[in-house]
């Protein structure tokens, strides 16, 4: 499988990565190599194998429905670039 | 040309847990911004989500109630997109193996027939935070208290054919989740909201038309209006030779119309994959048995029982059992009233009580008149302490917070007069004051007299301020007039 420049741009956009135009051919080559490598898996016969959701043979441990976290807003907000009235501020979002 | 609408609903029902789906932060509504958003909800590096046991039990109860297929394993997946109210860059949801599979819900149509609506699936997911676009000097404010609140997303088959059917389905689903106690169903607070997929096609056509999605509708009234408008809009376009564009639309309640949300540059590409932080959740026989044991009597069964056990009319039983709160209220009031006359209690619940709730926009829990208070009032009608007419005044006084029925009856001297001597005095006085009507009555033919006696009854009730026992008044009047 091989990816073209448009697909690389789309993947970069979905991941919100800024990439330089001149780097695109190299990204395309690297990503295509990874895909080709993974394609080897297609050679295995998986007809009778159930899809796996997790590599561990274990199931989810459940937690009792109890409130265990207290308010640590002040601590968390010290890490934020900008806050106001208890809100985190981000560049304006227009839908 | 006759058109037919095809509608499917996606309902988001917030689950009524104490803590979040993957963290121990509180889910209480209305807290100060970001005071209930812990490291897990904020998507801090190195945290690990752990599934809340209660959401699994609640989903199991829901699955049992809609007779759904439920696999032994369900899997959480990451739905990837960027938005500031979603700090991790993905929402933990379910994709390939949802916790609840195919099921169904029966709705009642206006003509009294029943229609079965298919439920495609119901899956667990976390809610996002809230963006506040007010003026923060050109910035957007983010409150993450809601992030991580458990949601059950219930996806229907495209089985509904009118806005009315869609509303009936949404109401029935609302009744179901509140009966089960898995959601508080509070629509103002966003605990129960839906997206509607709407398309139209010529009647008789097999293929579906192109659909649009109306987002985030949070009232029964809006769901009906939004869908009706969307159906009309699509028919107009098609009849004038146009084409429907698949898009997401918003319902504007103020303008009473749907409008296009700015269409995204490209189609959503969520790149779902199983969340490596979470293992498959097991729904085995033990979980199902525990869920089954905690199932309450649901609305359809309760309605049938009310008809059978209490002799209520189907329509009345349906109205009372539509919400669990109202049905509980009715049964509690009936018990306090002595339990002998369910129909009169039903009439009060449906009539005065529901009327007062609607008038003031209150829920059953918020009503100033409790079930015990209404039961006591009915008891006083049944034991002839007061007449039904006076009871309405007592009810109004209870509603205004003047005390319970006995206190009000005592304070206002509303007790019914059942003393024959006292009523006889009133009857004599009324007859003496209206000689002409008495003469007319006595000259009238037998079959006309029944109607004419009403005049005298009215006068006596007026003289007694409604307190004379109507049966006694009738009896004494007849005796005196016919003698």
Domain ranges of chain A: 5-42
Residue B49 sits in the same domain as residue B158? yes
Mean model confidence pLDDT for chain B: 91
B271: which chain A residues are within 8 Å (Cβ-Cβ)? 14
A82–chain B nearest CA distance, Å:
10
> What are the respective helix, strand and coil percentages of chain A, to the nearest 5?
40, 10, 50
Number of domains comprising chain B: 3
B265 pLDDT band (50/70/90 cuts)?
Answer: very low
Q: What residue spans of B98-219 are helical by DSSP H?
A: 163-180
Contact B141 A85 (CB under 8 A): yes
Judge if B172 and B75 occupy the same domain.
yes
Quick one: pLDDT at residue B308?
Answer: 96
β-strand partners of B476 = none
Question: Average of pLDDT values for B437-454?
Answer: 81
Percent of chain B past pLDDT 90, that is, above it, reads: 66
Listed residue (B75, B1, B87) closest to B40, CA to CA: B87
Q: Is residue B385 part of a domain?
A: yes
Cα separation, B125 vs B92, whole angstroms: 6
Q: Are the beta carbons of B80 and B270 closer than 8 angstroms? A: yes
**What confidence score (pLDDT) does residue B470 get?**
79
- Residues of chain A contacting residue B282, judged by C-beta atoms under 8 Å apart: 59-60
Q: Which of B143, B108, B134 is nearest to B29 (CA)?
A: B143
In this structure, are B41 and B84 located in the same domain?
yes
Round to whole Å and give the CA distance between B144 and B42: 7
Nearest to B391 by CA among B344, B322, B355, B359: B344
ipTM entry: 0.90
For B473, the domain range is 420-482
Residues with Cβ within 8 Å of residue B303, at least 6 apart in sequence: B314, B317, B318, B321
The answer as to whether B321 is a domain residue is yes
Are both B164 and B274 inside the same structural domain? yes
Give CA–CA dist B195/B10, Å, rounded: 5
Lowest mean pLDDT among B36-40, B112-116, B370-374, B412-416: B412-416
Which pLDDT tens digit goes with each residue over B109-166? 988 899 999 999 999 999 999 998 877 788 999 999 999 999 999 999 999 999 999 9
The shortest C-alpha distance from B279 to chain A (Å) reads 5
Under 8 Å between Cβ of B21 and B150? yes
Q: Looking at the partner chain, which of B32, B50, B142 has a beta carbon nearest the beta carbon of A90?
A: B142
- With a pLDDT cut of 70, the percent of chain B lying above it is 99
Shared domain for B370 and B430, answered yes or no, is no
**Shared-domain flag, residues B313 and B457:** no
- The distance of A22 to chain B (nearest Cα, Å) reads 24
Is B51 within 8 Å of A69 when comparing Cβ atoms?
no
Domain identity same for B400 and B475: no
Which residues lie closer than 8 Å to B329 by C-beta, 6 or more apart?
B349, B353, B364, B371, B374
Domain boundary among B381, B411, B441: B411
Indicate if B279 and B351 belong to the same structural domain. Answer: no
**Residues of chain B contacting residue A76, judged by C-beta atoms under 8 Å apart:** 34, 37, 39, 42, 44
- Are residues A63 and B51, on separate chains, in Cβ contact within 8 Å? yes
More confident residue, A28 or B446: A28
- B116: alpha, beta or left, given left = phi > 0 and alpha = psi -120 to 50? beta
**Residue B267 confidence (pLDDT) above 70:** no
Interface of B with A in 80-109 (CB under 8 A): 80, 82-84, 96-97
Nearest-CA distance from B174 to chain A in Å?
23
pLDDT, one tens digit per residue, over B339-354 is 999 999 999 999 999 9
Q: Are B138 and B54 part of one and the same domain?
A: yes
Q: How many CB atoms lie within 10 A of CB B300?
A: 17
Region label for B333, one of left (φ > 0), alpha (ψ between -120 and 50) or beta (otherwise): alpha
Closest by alpha carbon to B369, among B341, B345, B328, B397?
A: B397
- A–B: how many Cβ contacts below 8 A? 130
B204: Cβ contacts below 8 Å, ≥ 6 apart: none
Q: Is residue B242 part of a domain?
A: no
Which site among A59, A62, A78 would you substitute to test the B interface, given the most B Cβ atoms closer than 10 Å to its Cβ? A62
Top mean pLDDT of B80-89, B97-106, B188-197 is at B97-106
Query: When comparing pLDDT for B250 and B304, which is higher?
Result: B304
Per-residue tens of pLDDT for chain A, all 95 residues? 789 999 999 999 888 899 999 999 999 999 999 999 999 988 999 889 888 888 888 899 999 999 999 999 999 999 999 999 999 999 987 65
Chain B residues whose beta carbon lies within 8 Å of the beta carbon of residue A67: 18-19, 24-26
Task: Calculate mean pLDDT across residues B11-24.
Answer: 98
Alpha-carbon gap, residue B464 to B417, rounded angstroms: 8
Q: Tokens in use for B129?
A: 């935070």
How would you class B434 by CB atoms within 10 Å of its CB: exposed for 0-12, middle for 13-18, buried for 19 or more?
Answer: middle
Lowest mean pLDDT among B26-30, B251-255, B339-343: B251-255
Question: Which of the pair, B107 or B262, is modelled with greater confidence?
Answer: B107
Q: Assess if residue B363 is contained within a domain.
A: yes
Summarize the confidence of residues B1-25 as an average pLDDT: 96
Nearest Cα to Cα of residue B323 among B177, B218, B193: B177
Whether B401 and B443 map to the same domain: the answer is: no
Confidence of residue B448 (pLDDT cuts 50, 70, 90): confident
> Would you say residue B266 has pLDDT above 60?
no
Q: B377 vs B389, which has greater pLDDT?
A: B377
Report the pLDDT averaged over residues B253-264: 74
- Of A68, A71, A93, which has the smallest distance from its Cβ to B140's Cβ? A93
pLDDT grade, residue B262 (50/70/90)? Answer: low
Q: Do B53 and A54 lie within an 8 Å CB cutoff?
A: no
What is the pLDDT at residue B188? 86
Under a CB-based contact definition with an 8 Å cutoff, are residues B104 and B172 in contact?
A: no
Chain A residues contacting B via beta carbons under 8 Å: 10, 14, 16, 51, 53-54, 56, 58-69, 71-73, 76-77, 82, 84-93, 95
């Amino acid at each position: 499988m091989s990816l073209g420049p448009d697909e690389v741009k789309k993947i970069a956009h979905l991941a919100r990565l800024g990439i330089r135009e001149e780097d695109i051919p190299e990204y395309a080559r690297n990503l295509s190599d990874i895909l080709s490598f993974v394609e080897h898996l297609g050679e295995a016969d998986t007809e009778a194998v159930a899809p796996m959701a997790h590599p561990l043979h274990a199931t989810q441990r459940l937690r009792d429905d109890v409130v265990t976290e207290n308010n640590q807003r002040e601590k968390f907000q010290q890490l934020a670039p900008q806050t106001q009235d208890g809100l985190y501020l981000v560049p304006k979002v227009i839908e | 040309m006759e058109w037919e609408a095809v509608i499917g609903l996606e309902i988001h029902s917030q689950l009524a847990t104490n803590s979040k789906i993957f963290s121990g932060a509180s889910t209480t509504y209305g807290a100060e911004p970001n005071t209930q958003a812990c490291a897990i909800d904020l998507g801090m590096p190195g945290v690990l989500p752990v599934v809340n046991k209660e959401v699994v039990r609640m989903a199991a109860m829901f699955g049992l109630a809609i007779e759904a297929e439920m696999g032994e394993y369900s899997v959480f997946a990451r739905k990837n997109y960027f938005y500031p109210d979603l700090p991790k860059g993905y929402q933990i949801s379910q994709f390939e193996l949802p916790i609840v599979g195919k099921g169904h819900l029966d709705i009642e149509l206006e003509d009294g027939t029943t229609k079965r609506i298919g439920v495609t699936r119901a899956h667990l997911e976390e809610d996002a935070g809230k963006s506040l676009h007010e003026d923060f000097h050109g910035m957007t404010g983010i409150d993450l208290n809601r992030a991580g609140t458990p949601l059950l997303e219930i996806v229907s088959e495209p089985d509904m054919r009118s806005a009315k059917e869609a509303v009936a389905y949404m109401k029935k689903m609302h009744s179901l989740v509140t009966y089960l106690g898995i959601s508080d169903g509070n629509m103002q607070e966003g605990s129960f909201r839906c997206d509607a997929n709407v398309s139209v096609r010529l009647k008789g056509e097999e293929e579906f038309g192109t659909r649009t999605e109306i987002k985030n509708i949070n009232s029964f009234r809006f769901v009906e209006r939004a869908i009706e408008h969307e159906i009309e809009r699509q028919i107009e376009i098609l009849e004038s030779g146009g084409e429907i564009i698949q898009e997401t639309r918003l319902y504007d309640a103020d303008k009473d119309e749907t409008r296009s949300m700015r269409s995204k540059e490209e189609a959503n590409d969520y790149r779902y994959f199983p969340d490596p932080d979470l293992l498959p959740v097991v729904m085995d026989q033990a979980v199902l048995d525990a869920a089954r044991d905690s199932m309450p009597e649901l609305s359809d069964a309760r309605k049938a029982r009310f008809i059978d056990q209490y002799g209520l009319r189907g329509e009345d039983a349906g109205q009372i059992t539509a919400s669990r709160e109202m049905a509980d209220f009715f049964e509690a009031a009936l018990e306090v009233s002595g339990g002998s006359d369910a129909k009169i209690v039903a009439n009060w619940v449906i009539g005065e009580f529901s009327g007062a709730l609607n008038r003031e926009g209150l829920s059953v829990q918020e009503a100033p008149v409790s079930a015990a208070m209404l039961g006591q009032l009915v008891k006083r009608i049944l034991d002839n302490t007061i007449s039904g007419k006076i009871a309405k005044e007592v009810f109004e006084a209870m509603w205004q917070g003047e005390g319970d029925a006995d206190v009000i009856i005592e304070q206002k001297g509303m007790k019914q007069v059942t003393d024959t001597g006292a009523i006889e005095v009133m009857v004599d006085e009324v007859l003496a004051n209206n000689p002409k009507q008495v003469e007319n009555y006595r000259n009238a033919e037998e079959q006309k007299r029944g109607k004419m006696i009403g005049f005298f009854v009215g006068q006596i009730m007026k003289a007694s301020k409604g307190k004379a026992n109507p049966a006694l008044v009738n009896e004494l009047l007849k005796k005196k007039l016919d003698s």
